[in-house]
Structure 1
Amino acid sequence: MMNLTHLRVLEAVARHGSVTEAARELHYSQPSISHHLGRLESSIGARLIQRVGRGIRLTPEGEVLAQRAREIVGRVEAASAEMAAHVGLRAGRVRVAGFQTVLSTIVPKAAAELAASYPGIELNLVDVHPVEGLRMLRAGHVDLALVFRHADTPDEEEGFRLTHLLDDPLYLISREPGQRLEDHRDSAWVGGCERCRATMVAACRRAGFTPRIAYSSDDMVVVQTLVAAGMGVATLPGLALQAHRTPGVHATEIPGHARHIYAATYGEPPDPPATTALLDILRAIT
């Protein structure tokens, strides 16, 4: 029969791709890791690990079970934190996944308020793209994910609960004030990665042209510095401009283009008390 120890071992081996690294993380010996994997394979009647040269890889059955193990282990850890929190908000933990601009603007204010109001709550933060943040939330590795959506963003999978915090306008970043997207149909543009530049490209296409992306960076400081140096123009959300503003650039709001910022939780309510406390603070300061 499968047990939690076996699943923890499989999850660690799958994540590290190494028995040695899994043993180090779990403070087990390598023979002990192999023993647990062998017991798990016997209990389900399928081979989970294959030797490949000096390394290992998961079988298809191992891949399936490892994914479920990640979810199960994550939810057990979340439940443990929730039970600990029920002792009272004198102690507890809330794990948050967020993206760069929200972590550098809204979250520090919320963290300071949380520490002042509930000094016993431990706050853990991880900087990831919203897509990855939702994956971590579903798997139970975080308790709350700060994400953004656009008007045309597809609905998320069932189980997520979104609390709207604020709308974040999009701005044209250039060296001259009061300009429009159309003024730069022939200009060089600074764009982010394929996923991050989608909003900029969509705004330009709505204005009747496709931007010529000459430079690529997801760093708001680099983007503004390139614009200030006359290398091109760009778009940035308002939170990025709150986090950092380079001298010599002007920001002009682009009407009709804003991203919607949400705090996402997962599963049926109620949320753990520590998560609810942070969520209440986020709502209050935005």
Structure 2
Amino acid sequence: MFDSRHIRTFHEVVRAGSYSAAARSLGYTQPAITQQMKALEREVGSPLFIRVGRGMRLTEAGETLARHADVILDSISAARQQLNAITRLRAGHVRLCGFPSANATLIPEAMARLAAAHPGVRVELLEGEPPESLGRVVRGECDITLAFTYPGLREQAPAELVEIPLLEDQLTVLLPTGHPLARRRAVKLAELSGERWIAGCLRCRANFLHECAEQGFAPDIAFTTDDNLVIQSMVAAGLGVAMMPGLVLSFLCHRKVTGRALEPASRRHVSAYVLREHLRVPATEMVLEELKAVAANRVGC
């Protein structure tokens, strides 16, 4: 097995072009660089450099190792980030990533409960939409992420992650208050086939297009934006209608906008995702328990 210090030094020698330049860059003496390269050559079982005049060039073994050095160092860095994340969690620091409507509803309630029960736990709140937010957990950039999936789309979370289901969020349609269908308690999606639409994030947009296709029409999408408040403002201004998650109704800001259930009923699944090893960390468990408690009060929202 290679010593990571030797790989890092080898990488710098290749980048800098000489032992002396690598020594200056790393703050080592040149003999120390020479000793590390000799040790690495013993591990490899072959010379890595040959002298050419006053310079040096890589042997075939050196070229092979150089091609893999970046990958090795990146893997070590990723492992270190994840280990550091676990250490921070034990110290009571959790990095929580949520999508916008969860950040505006589920997470504030859960964090208020957490602060009352466990004031020593500190939460750093990040924002991101799936699937990118799922990758952030895998890369060690956050410790827990909330994400959503749609039953009609074949979406798989990374195999490294554990899913903790939270709730099913019923989809709604946002209409200007003066719209003829705003008087209904529920609206059939097909009845809106002639409307102009305002579409949301990529994943929501993909589901929206899928559901419209299931109802036999292609929607006229006039605007697209990831900002829920912007969507509300556009609907209020009469620029179109929008399919939105039920969580958004919790912070519906415009009096000129009405939310109505869709027929047939459509839902998205909201879950928390963590690396398996984080489940054994007390701070993570505390955050997840509060999220589950808040979600339980919103079942079928």
TM-score category by the smaller chain?
0.7 to 0.9
Counterparts of 1:4 and 1:236 in 2: how far apart (Å)? Answer: 54
Q: 1: CA distance between counterparts of 2:241 and 2:134?
A: 31
1:60 CA drift (Å)? 6.3
CA contact (8 A) 1:97 1:145 kept: yes
Query: Do residues 180 (structure 1) and 188 (structure 2) align?
Result: yes
Indicate the residue corresponding to 1:35 in structure 2.
Answer: 26
**Structure 1 CA distance, aligned partners of 2:108 and 2:133?**
18
Does the Cα contact within 8 Å between 1:71 and 1:138 map onto a contact in 2? no
Equivalent in the alignment of 1:204: 212
Go from structure 1 to structure 2 and tell me whether the alpha carbon gap of 1:124 and 1:33 turns closer, same or farther (over 3 Å shift): farther
Q: Identity over the aligned pairs, expressed in percent?
A: 29
Within 5 Å, which residues of 2 pair with 1:121-200?
A: 121-151=121-151, 152-175=153-176, 176=179, 177=182, 178=184, 179-200=187-208
TM-score, normalised via structure 1 length:
0.75
Contact 2:130–2:203 at 8 Å: present in 1 too? no
Structure 1 Cα separation of the partners of residues 76 and 109 of structure 2 = 35
Matched, 1:2 2:4: yes
Q: How does 1:19-168 map to 2 (within 5 A)?
A: 34-35=25-26, 61=68, 64-65=71-72, 67-82=74-89, 85=90, 91-151=91-151, 152-168=153-169
Corresponding residue number in structure 2 for 1:53: none
Count of residues paired in the alignment: 245
1:242 is paired with a residue whose SS is: helix
Does 99-108 or 156-165 show the bigger shift?
A: 156-165
Per-residue deviation, 1:61: 4.1
Amino acid at match of 1:2: S
CA RMSD of aligned residues (A): 3.2
Determine if contact 1:220/1:244 at 8 Å carries over to the other structure.
no
Please say which structure displays the higher CA radius of gyration: 2
Where does structure 2 lack aligned partners over 5 or more consecutive residues? Answer: 13-21, 28-32, 50-65, 296-301
Deviations 1:110-129 (A, max 9, x none): 11111111111111111011
In structure 1, the gaps of 5 or more residues are 11-30, 47-58, 86-90
Map of 2:230 onto structure 1: 222
Range with bigger deviation, 203-212 or 60-69: 60-69
**Alpha-carbon shift at residue 6 of structure 1 (Å):** 5.3
Note if contact 2:198-2:222 (Cα within 8 Å) is conserved in structure 1. Answer: yes
Structure 2-normalised TM-score?
0.71
Helix, strand or coil at the partner of 1:196: helix
Per-residue CA deviations over 1:22-71 (Å, capped at 9, x if unaligned) read xxxxxxxxx999428xx7x966969xxxxxxxxxxxx9646534542442
